[in-house]
């Protein structure tokens, strides 16, 4: 469905200008003591939340900035200032 | 003609407190698994829990294309088995699945794509799946509606032709399998949502529903695009899946004009003419995960542009209906079928993306054996979840159109 995303630099724009960058999984795991499993978790595994999630976007056809937003995956609407619970 | 309406799958059963196996989701894979559990594995004390109605999900929304020309050694035999099952099931279920094996034509728009198709054809032939290459002249002879002019955005260099594939009536598969499963004693509970899965000491003990608790030592999550969310929420297991909305549409009905399933990765569109005369066409996916199943004007425009180039007879033809469903995409475009790891009695079958219709019968049959015997059948071994941490991703991304939020 149609989607708008708010870029911190350019403001609210048509979603097709952006590239989805994945669920926010926190910082990249430290190399020290890393196992194939922890790396796999970071690279491949998703929560697939049906609800609000924190996620990365890149303003690909715009200023090029990378940033996170909160979006409800059931409605495609951005949500401001929420705490993600799941 | 005016007899009273009676569901094919019998009277509404009461919800028992204990089953030998509970399946969450009422789609194709679930129904096929239940059918084979009861019919071939002697396990008929089985419940299917469906939140809405059977066929609500991808089962009732797909464009019903079947074929067996996948890319890799592990996948082709599974899809071939599924393709070979349609005529058998039509008899066995005593239900017309309307299998129209008109053949699939995959258009190639560059020499590089032709080389990839050549390898794909070799894999198919090695596994006894009929598939061969056509040049543009042969394409035109086979399907005169296709535009082979060099003067289009992506001129056609050739095609991969897979004669045994085609289309089937997807609703008939849902109803036929439900009828067959119910006749063998399976309980199909519609409007019954699973809300939690219970475990104790590393073993499955039951399922919570909004109608009450069910005890069972075995639970299969087979809920199409909803599976990954359910498995994370109820079992705390994350999967390498992105859930995308995928759209399809049909035109007004036309006289017979298109005789094969025609698809193009480059134009990102496929089309076939249904037995009713409509041109059913699809392929577009949202490039960001969502569960909306909403359609977009963006896609109508894309489809009109693409189709009027390579199937120019469609210029000016009106789209009549437009809908969407979910596709649960894995990074290697191959499904995840696994069980008893890490919890005994817990099984999953998901990640089918947009390949979950054509494969449902064979996958369901093997899952039934897995669940009844507790041991993974040979055919399913390569599809385990641990292949991702072992860096043993399958090469299915090389087959036809890849579409994930990762590309
Ligand atoms: C537009 C479109 C076109 C497609 N085209 C093709 C094609 O041409 N060929 C092909 O092979 N595949 C195609 N697919 C893919 C295919 O339809 C799916 O992969 C397949 O249907 C998914 O498996 P399923 O039928 O078992 O699940 P689904 O039918 O998706 O069933 C999932 C069910 O689970 C239920 N559910 C969800 N949560 C719960 C809960 N908590 N408790 C109980 N029930 C729950 C839902 O209500 C739903 O009915 C297409 C899909 C779409 C959307
Ligand atoms: Zn910007």
Can you list the domains of chain B with their CATH numbers? 21-62+171-239+334-397 (3.50.50.60), 107-163+242-329 (3.30.9.10)
Looking at chain B, the whole-number percentage of residues with pLDDT higher than 70 is 97
* pLDDT > 90? residue A83: no
| A33 assigned to some structural domain | yes
3-class DSSP state of B381: helix
B291/A74 touch (CB, cutoff 8 Å), yes or no: yes
Q: A17 in a domain, yes or no?
A: yes
- Nearest residue to B321 via CA among B268, B249, B369: B249
Domain membership of residue A64 as a residue range:
4-79
User: Per the structure, how many domains does chain A have?
Assistant: 1
Confidence of residue A86 (pLDDT cuts 50, 70, 90): very low
Ligand 1 cavity residues, CB under 6 Å = B 24-30, 49-52, 56-59, 61-65, 193-194, 222-226, 230, 246, 248, 282, 325, 327, 352, 354-358
Residue B380 near residue B52, CB atoms below 8 Å: no
Question: Does B373 or A1 have the greater pLDDT score?
Answer: B373
**What distance in angstroms lies between residue B353's CA and the mean position of ligand 1's atoms?**
9
A46/B240 touch (CB, cutoff 8 Å), yes or no? yes
Within B257-313, strands assigned E span: 261-264, 269-273, 279-285
Residues of A in contact with B238 (CB under 8 A): 41, 45-48
The b/e string for B15-39 (b: 16+ C-beta within 10 A; e otherwise) is beeebebbbbbbbbbbbbbbbbbbb
Could A37 and B389 be called an inter-chain contact, meaning their C-beta atoms sit closer than 8 Å? yes
End-to-end alpha carbon distance in chain A? 24
CB-based contact B132:B161 (threshold 8 Å): yes
Is A84 a domain residue? no
Residue of A nearest to B390 (CA): A36
| A48 contacts B289? CB cut-off 8 A | yes
Residue A21 lies in a domain: yes
Alpha helices, H only, B250-387? 297-310, 360-373
Nearest residue to B46 (alpha-carbon basis) of B282, B358, B372, B281: B372
Which of B193, B231, B234, B238 would best serve as a mutation to test chain A binding (most A beta carbons within 10 A)?
B238
Distance from CA of A33 to the nearest CA of B (A): 15
| CB neighbours of residue B374 within 10 Å | 14
If you measure from the C-alpha of residue B363 to the centroid of ligand 1, how many angstroms do you get, rounded to a whole number?
Answer: 14
pLDDT confidence of B405, banded at 50, 70, 90?
Answer: low
User: Dihedral sign, CA of B82, B87, B88, B89?
Assistant: positive
What is the structure's pLDDT at B401? 52
Q: What digits encode the pLDDT tens for the residues B220-263?
A: 999 999 999 999 999 999 999 999 999 999 999 999 999 999 99
A9/B212 Cα distance (integer angstroms): 51
Report which of B385, B392, B400, B88 is spatially closest to residue B262, judged by C-alpha positions.
Answer: B400
- Does some domain include residue A85? no
Determine which of B389, B390, B404 to mutate to test the interface with A (most A C-beta atoms within 10 Å). B389
pLDDT in tens, B2-43: 677 777 888 899 999 999 999 999 999 999 999 999 999 999
Q: What is the CATH number of the domain that holds A52?
A: 3.30.2270.10
The whole-angstrom separation of Cα B289 and Cα B241 is 10
Average pLDDT for residues B131-141, to the nearest whole number? 97
| Cβ atoms within 10 Å of B172's Cβ, excluding its own | 17
In a domain, A34, yes or no: yes
The answer to whether residue A11 sits within a structural domain is: yes
pLDDT computed for residue A57 by the predictor: 97
């Amino acid at each position: 469905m149609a989607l708008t995303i708010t870029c911190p630099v350019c403001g609210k724009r048509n979603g097709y200008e952006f590239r989805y960058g994945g669920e926010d999984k926190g910082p990249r795991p430290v190399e020290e003591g890393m196992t194939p499993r922890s790396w796999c978790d970071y690279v491949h595994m998703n929560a697939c939340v049906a609800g609000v999630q924190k996620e990365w976007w890149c303003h690909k056809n715009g200023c090029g900035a990378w940033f996170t937003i909160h979006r409800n995956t059931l409605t495609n609407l951005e949500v401001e200032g929420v705490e993600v619970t799941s | 003609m005016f007899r009273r309406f009676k569901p094919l799958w019998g009277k509404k059963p009461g919800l028992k407190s204990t089953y030998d196996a509970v399946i969450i989701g009422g789609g194709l894979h679930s129904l096929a698994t239940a059918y084979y559990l009861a019919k071939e594995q002697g396990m008929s004390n089985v419940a299917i829990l469906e939140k809405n109605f059977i066929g609500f999900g991808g089962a009732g929304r797909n464009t019903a294309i079947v074929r067996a020309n996948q890319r890799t050694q592990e996948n082709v035999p599974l899809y071939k088995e599924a393709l070979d099952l349609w005529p058998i099931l039509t008899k066995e279920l005593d239900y017309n699945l309307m299998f129209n094996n008109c053949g699939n034509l995959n258009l190639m728009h560059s020499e590089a794509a032709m080389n990839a198709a050549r390898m794909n054809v070799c894999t198919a032939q090695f596994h006894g799946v009929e598939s061969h290459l056509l040049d543009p002249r042969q394409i035109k002879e086979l399907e005169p509606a296709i535009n082979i002019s060099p003067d289009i955005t992506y001129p056609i260099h050739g095609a991969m032709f897979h004669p045994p594939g085609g289309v089937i009536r997807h609703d008939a598969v849902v109803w036929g399998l439900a009828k067959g499963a119910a006749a063998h004693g399976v309980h199909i509970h519609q409007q019954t949502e699973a809300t939690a899965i219970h475990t104790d000491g590393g073993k499955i003990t039951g399922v919570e529903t909004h109608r009450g608790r069910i005890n069972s030592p075995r639970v299969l999550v087979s809920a199409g695009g909803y599976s990954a969310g359910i498995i994370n929420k109820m079992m705390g297991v994350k999967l390498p899946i992105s859930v995308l909305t995928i759209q399809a549409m049909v035109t007004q009905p036309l006289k017979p004009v298109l005789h094969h399933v025609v698809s193009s990765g480059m134009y990102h569109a496929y089309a076939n003419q249904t037995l009713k005369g409509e041109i059913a066409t699809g392929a577009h996916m949202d490039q960001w995960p969502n569960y909306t199943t909403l359609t977009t004007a963006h896609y109508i425009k894309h489809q009109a542009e693409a189709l009027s180039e390579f199937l120019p007879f469609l210029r000016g033809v009106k789209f009549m209906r437009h809908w969407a469903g979910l596709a649960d995409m894995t990074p290697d475009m191959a499904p995840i079928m696994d069980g008893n790891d890490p919890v005994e009695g817990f099984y999953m079958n998901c990640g089918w993306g947009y390949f979950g219709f054509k494969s449902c019968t064979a996958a369901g049959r093997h899952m039934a054996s897995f669940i009844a015997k507790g041991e993974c059948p040979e055919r399913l071994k390569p599809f385990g979840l641990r292949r991702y941490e072992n860096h043993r991703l399958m090469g299915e991304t090389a087959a036809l159109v890849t579409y994930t939020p990762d590309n």
